[in-house]
Amino acid sequence: MSIPKSFSRICKPLGPSCSLPKQSLLQVAYRLHNSSAHQETAEAYARDPTPIERATLAFSSAFTAIADPTRQDAVATLAETTSTYTLPLLRSKMLSDPTGRRILRTKPLVSSKTLDLPHLRSLPPGTFGREYMNFLDGQGVSPDTREPIRYIQNPELSYILTRYRQSHDFYHTLANLGVSVPEELAIKYFEFVQTGLPMTLLSSLVGPLRLTKEERRVLFDVYVPWAVQCGGKAKFLMNVYWEEWMDEKVDVVRKELGIIPAPKV
């Protein structure tokens, strides 16, 4: 499909200093329907999208994600293009906290390279690190499956969103929730209360539409009340240096951070 030239020109930034993308954003949006094309397009993209481009991306990724919730790249794009006003607030909160400042200074990453996974597996049962590994192994996921940031150029804001994504599995561990759709949505509600990121709100509102009646009942009767209460009461989790809590007993960690595990259904 060819994109009219005039239309792609609208999407270009006005300033001469910006390096122009090789492809217009409309093409990016179009190619969202094709996962592999999306990957390569976004990598070629080296500047902040303009507001029009951002809106286009947000809409197209939102519809893609609604059509196919397993499309992690679409959800990631939605998060990046809608968090322009929320990320600075998260940064302010982090800068006002000693640990938050330490995290922003050292910028730790969570991956199989930075975490010594065999060591975590060897920790005594009941420690946070061991529970975390149990979760990863039990659900068959890896800390490396997180999407990279594509559309945020500011290194600090980009890092904060990365940190938020990489902390996701720690929330699962502490909340004692699996990866079924209702459970994921429970975590999304929890994250919305904690961070206020618009993507978490959109997921929380649209996600339940695809649930069965029974699943929806469980979500709204059990998980959502838990998420709202627990998310509101708990410490601000972006200011937690997860790597330093691995040796602690998981119950101690929960108590310290003010998290109660989600009720079992």
Partner 1 sequence: MNTRTAYIARLNRSYTRTPCTKRLTRNLRSPATLRQTTLASAPHPLADPDPRKPVYTTHDLSHIEQTHRKRESVSDWVAWSAVRLLRFGFDTATNYSDKLNVMNERQWLNRIVFLETVAGVPGMVAGMTRHMKVLNSLNRDQGWIHTLLEEAENERMHLMTFMGLRRPSPFFRAFVVIGQAGFFTLFTIAYAISPKTCHRFVGYLEEEAVHTYSNCLLDTEVGQIRHWTVTPAPLVAKQYWRLPEGASIRDVVAAVRADEAEHRTRNHEIADVKEVEKGNPKTDDTKAMPPPDHHQIGTKRDQFNNDIQHRSPLLQSSQRSFHSSRKLRASEPATPSPDDAAPYDVVIVGGGIVGTALACGLATRVDSSSPLSVALIEAGDLFRPINTQPGQFSNRVSSLTPGSVKFLDDIGIWKRLDSSFLYPYSKMRVWDAVGNGAIRFDAKDNDGAPIAYMAQNNVVQAALADVAKEQKERISVFNKTKVENIVGNVRSGEWPVVHLEGGRRIRARVLIGADGVTSRVRDFAKIETVGWDYSQKGIVATLKVDSSVENVTAWQRFLPTGPIALLPLAPGYSSLVWSTTTALSTRICNLPIDDFVTLVNTAFINPVEDIQYLTSQIGPDGTPQTDFKSESEWGRQRSIENGDVRTMFPPSVVGLVEGSRASFPLRMRNSVTYVDDRIALIGDAAHTVHPLAGQGLNIGLADAEALTKVLLEGMEDGQDIGQIHVLEKYAAARYLPNVTMLTAVDGIGRLFGTDARITSWIRSIGLNLTDSIAPLKSAIMKYAGRTFP
Distance from C-alpha of 123 to C-alpha of 125, rounded to nearest angstrom: 6
Asked if residue 43 belongs to a known ligand binding site, the reply is: no
Distance from C-alpha of 31 to C-alpha of 18, rounded to nearest angstrom: 23
Nearest to 196 by CA among 62, 50, 91: 91
Q: Is 151 exposed, middle or buried (0-12, 13-18, 19+ CB in 10 A)?
A: buried
CB of 157 vs partner 1, minimal distance in Å: 8
Tokens of 119: 């060591």
Asked if residue 247 belongs to a known ligand binding site, the reply is: no
CB of 97 vs partner 1, minimal distance in Å: 8
Q: Which C-beta is closer to partner 1: that of 115 or that of 157?
A: 157
Distance from C-alpha of 86 to C-alpha of 205, rounded to nearest angstrom: 18
CB of 19 vs partner 1, minimal distance in Å: 16
Tell me which residues touch partner 1 (CB under 8 A). Answer: 91-92, 95-98, 101, 104-105, 154-157
CB of 92 vs partner 1, minimal distance in Å: 5
Q: Which C-beta is closer to partner 1: that of 151 or that of 190?
A: 151
Asked if residue 184 belongs to a known ligand binding site, the reply is: yes
First to last CA, the chain: 48
Q: Which C-beta is closer to partner 1: that of 90 or that of 177?
A: 90
Radius of gyration of the CA atoms of the chain, in A: 19
Helices 155-166, 72-82: axis angle to 10 degrees equals 140
Asked if residue 38 belongs to a known ligand binding site, the reply is: no
Q: Which C-beta is closer to partner 1: that of 4 or that of 155?
A: 155
